[in-house]
Amino acid sequence: MRKRAGAMCALLICLLLAGCGAQQRQTRTSTTGARATDAQVLMLAQVLESDFRRGGAQFTANLQVDGQPARATGRVDFRSGRGTALVGPVDPSLGPPRRFFWTRTTVLAQASPGSRHYLREVPDEHGNPVHAMIGFINLLSAETIDNTANISAATPRLIGQTRIAGAPVDEFRYGRNGDITLWILTGSGLLRRIATTRASGGLTVDLINHDPIKIDLPRTARG
Amino acid sequence: MMSRGRFRAAALVLGALACAGCGGGHGQGGRSQVLRVPQSYRTIQAAVDATRRGDLVLIAPGVYHESVTVAAGHPDIVLRGLDRNRVLLDGQDRLGSGITVNADGVAVENLTVRHYLVNGVVWQPSDQYGSGQSLRGWRGSYITAYDNGLYGVYAFGAVHGRFDHVYGSGQPDSGVYIGNCNACHALVVDSMAEHNQVGYEATNASGDVSVLHNVWTHNRVGVEIDSLRKEPGFPQRGSMLTSNRIVDNNDRGAPRAEDGGFGAGVAINGGSGNQVADNLVSSHSEIGIVVLDSPDSAATNNTVQGNRLEANALDLALETANGLSQGNCFAGNQAPRGGPRSVPGRLQALTGRSCGHSVATGHNRLRLVPAPPQLDYRTVPAPPPQPNMPAAATAPAAPAVGNPEREAVG
């Protein structure tokens, strides 16, 4: 049996941000830039599939934890859904970072900074900002292409061209209230950066590269 | 030099072309026209862009590497292939969707769409999320859609329409899809889907949805009716699945979707007030018919009645989070020996003649089935030739105006 229904609604719109729920008919505010062309919509539809095909990525993320800016550096295997990240406050005086591992169903949190032991946590994407980040990263890949029909309906807009770490990228914005922004590497069509304003304090994830990644989980998980 | 046989055939075609589109005009202030591709218009898109209300775009056999859009300003037209099996829209695995219809009242008939990155043929209003308006009037008849990257034929946010004599195979989502409509006023009839993740799928398709006399076979899952909050139109309620042949949906040779299931005939996933009646549901490695709560909503007041169940590992199941029947009814379902099979001791399904005694299991009691490995949809073998629509060369244009779901199916 199917574990959950799987109409491939636009994943970026629907799964990440619940942007096409009952409130989808609110007025959009993402009115800057030019409406994406059919070719650009098709490219957006292939972003998550491209991540999956490439296998994995190293990433950095900026998030808010307890009202303080935090930063994560890690790796994710898009094929298996496993990942790991070191997460800590941007201001090191506020405390050392902790390591997390995850699968599609479980989060393993370092018992204390530097510890070899990990505690198994039930994913809580609404109450735990690190879990929310993990959930977000887990949705950055898909086995199949996204649906251009749904992406078009969310009126994606090309904001402009810019550079990230010297590489040219195209910046797109769409979703409910224009609350998701993607920077796509010009030429390759690979996702370089994605940001959402929906997460408390905002969340930005940079994919540094796109290569196969293998994640070994710690053997000392408890709970 | 043209042989006599070919000359005769050409003469017949010319005669047929001359007749096509006669009568049945829907034009405003004039007769409907027949726009011929490639004789008068080199591309299908060029012909579509030249249409007026009531026109017929008649497409000669050939391979067309196009991604066609029917813009909202071209309503009430018909796109028709002269030969379903020889009019081929081919995306070459690089174009988006074969035909995208954003206009009201458009019918697509008698052609094949294959090898598109996304969908075969799509009906969807052009600004679905912004306006909340539905596309009104749609019809897909005698369409073959195979080896496309997501869906075969797809109606989303569209009301008053039907699919008839459609065939879909080799899609990693569903062969036939209806979603986001209330009330849909939709009919799916005399169609077939095989070698897809799902044969027929409907998500948040509510109100006057009838799925009759179809064959859903050799998919990973036969039929799936979903109620999902993350998509527009939530919640789902009120569709009817009747007199279908739902057989052997355990196909490892079908491509899969994300989180795709396997080995099930019919799954009602969180919907309400649906009727599953008088179908043949046979030969499923996991389950024949299952009603379960979705992550977003409870399955309530669904009726599973009078189905013939054969050779399923488990015939019937009801899985609700609270373990209550929630008004779901299983009644009068027939199995060859000893009544329908269900999970002993935990899950019972009525074999009696009346509703109201179903006993449901708690959540997550059904076993999770690991999906067989992914398969490249582009490698699914092409289907055999499918039946042509009658008199494709001469039948007058019949745009999808009024209530196509209630009209006689040819």
Domains of chain A (ranges; CATH) run 35-215 (2.50.20.20)
Instruction: Provide the number of structural domains found in chain B.
Output: 1
CA distance B189 to B211: 6
Residue type, A102: W
Is the per-residue pLDDT at A207 higher than 50?
A: yes
Whether B129 and A24 lie within 8 Å, measured CB to CB: yes
pLDDT at A203 over 80: yes
Tokens of B6: 């070919």
Integer Cα distance of A26 and B175 in angstroms = 31
**Can you read off the two tokens belonging to residue B398?**
């019949």
Peptide bond into B183 cis (omega under 30): yes
Q: How far is B122 from chain A (nearest CA, A)?
A: 8
> Pick from B118, B129, B287: which is nearest to A25 by CB?
B129
CATH label of the domain that carries residue B323: 2.160.20
- Yes or no, beta carbons of A144 and B173 under 8 Å apart: yes
**Cα–Cα dist A129/A69, whole Å:** 11
Q: How many CB atoms lie within 10 A of CB A113?
A: 12
DSSP labels, B108-160: EEEEEEE--SSEEEEE--TTHHHH-PPEEEEEEEEEEEES-SSEEEEEESEEE
- pLDDT band of residue A18 (cuts 50, 70, 90) is very low
Nearest to B374 among A18, A22, A143 (CB): A143
Does residue B107 form part of some domain? yes
Give the H or E element holding residue B206. Answer: strand B198-206
Least confident of A79-88, B54-63, B349-358: B349-358
Count of beta carbons in the 10 Å neighbourhood of residue B301 = 17
* Count of Cβ atoms closer than 10 Å to residue B207 Cβ: 16
- Six-digit token pair at B342? 């269900």
Is the Cβ pair B96, A45 closer than 8 Å? yes
B233 lies in a domain? Answer: yes
Tell me: pLDDT of B344 over 50: no
Instruction: Give the residue numbers in A contacting B (CB under 8 Å), as ranges.
Output: 1-9, 14-15, 18, 20-22, 24-25, 28, 38, 41-42, 45-46, 142-145, 147-150, 152-155
Chain B nearest C-alpha distance from A149 (Å): 7
Q: Please say if the pLDDT value at position A21 is more than 50.
A: no
Residue A23 pLDDT > 60: no
Residues of chain B in contact with residue A17, where contact means CB-CB under 8 angstroms, are none
Tokens of A158: 């090309």
Q: What is the mean pLDDT of chain A?
A: 83
Q: Tell me: pLDDT of B127 over 90.
A: no
HSE-up (13 A, CA, CB side) for residue A72 = 30
Comparing CB atoms, the residue among B129, B132, B226 nearest residue A5 is B226
Specify the DSSP element, H or E, that contains B317: strand B316-319
Separation between Cα atoms, residue B115 and residue B377, nearest integer Å: 9
Give the β-pairing of B174-182 and B151-156: parallel
Cβ contacts below 8 Å, chain A against chain B, sum to: 142
Residue B190 belongs to a domain: yes
Q: Is residue B1 part of a domain?
A: no
B133 within domain boundaries: yes
Q: pLDDT (tens digit, 9 = 90+) per residue, A134-158?
A: 999 998 999 999 988 888 878 899 9
Mutation site for B-interface testing, chosen from A144, A155, A174, A176 by largest number of B Cβ within 10 Å: A144
> Are B286 and A45 in contact (CB < 8 Å)?
no
Q: At B342, is the pLDDT very low, low, confident or very high (cuts 50, 70, 90)? A: low
pLDDT of residue A88: 96
Least confident of A23-37, A85-99, B288-302: A23-37
Residue B132 C-alpha, separation from nearest chain A C-alpha, in angstroms: 6
Cβ A2 vs Cβ B260: under 8 Å: yes
Instruction: Give the pLDDT of residue A221.
Output: 63
Amino acid at residue number B328: N
Quick one: closest CA in B to A148, which residue?
B118
Inter-chain touch A8–B257, beta carbons under 8 Å? yes
Residue A19 near residue A179, CB atoms below 8 Å: yes
Q: What is the pLDDT of residue B39?
A: 97
Percent of chain B clearing pLDDT 90 (strictly above): 69
Q: Amino acid identity of B395?
A: A
ipTM of predicted assembly, 2 dp: 0.77
Interval B266-315: pLDDT, tens: 999 999 999 999 999 999 999 999 999 988 899 999 999 999 999 998 88
Is B392 domain-assigned?
no
Contact B151 A147 (CB under 8 A): yes
Helix, strand, coil percent content, chain A, rounded in steps of 5: 20, 35, 45
Please give the average per-residue pLDDT across B227-252, as a whole number.
93
The percent helix, strand, coil of chain B (3-state, each to 5) is 10, 35, 55
B325: closest CA among B295, B297, B362?
B362
Among residues A35, A19, A112, A146, the alpha carbon closest in space to that of B118 is found at A146
Chain B nearest CA to A109, separation (Å):
26
- Whether residue B87 contacts residue B110, with contact meaning beta carbons closer than 8 Å, is answered with yes
Is there a domain that residue B387 lies in?
no
Mean pLDDT for the stretch of residues A187-204: 89
What residue in B sits closest to A176 (Cα-Cα)?
A: B129
Rounded to a whole number of angstroms, the distance from the CA of B399 to the nearest CA of chain A is 23
Strand partners, A19: none
Instruction: Tokens 């299908």: give the residue.
Output: B44
A-chain CB neighbours of B124 within 8 Å are: 149, 153
Q: Distances from the Cα of A23 to the Cαs of A15, A175, A220, B53, B230, in angstroms?
A: 14, 12, 44, 34, 10
Tell me the pLDDT of chain B averaged across its residues. Answer: 86
End-to-end Cα distance, chain A:
29
CA dist., res. A115 & res. A135, Å (int) = 24
* CA B16-B18-B22 angle, 5° bins: 95
Contact A143 B369 (CB under 8 A): no
CB contact under 8 A, B129 and A21: no
Which letter, b or e, does each residue of B13-35 get, where b requires 16 or more Cβ atoms within 10 Å of its Cβ? eeeebeebbeeebbeeeeebbbb
* Amino acid letter for position B343: V
Identify the domain containing residue B187 by its residue range.
33-379
What are the tens digits of pLDDT across the range B360-402? 555 556 777 788 888 999 999 999 999 999 999 999 999 999 9
**Closest Cα in chain B, distance from residue A173 (Å):** 15
Residues 6+ apart with CB under 8 A from B408: none
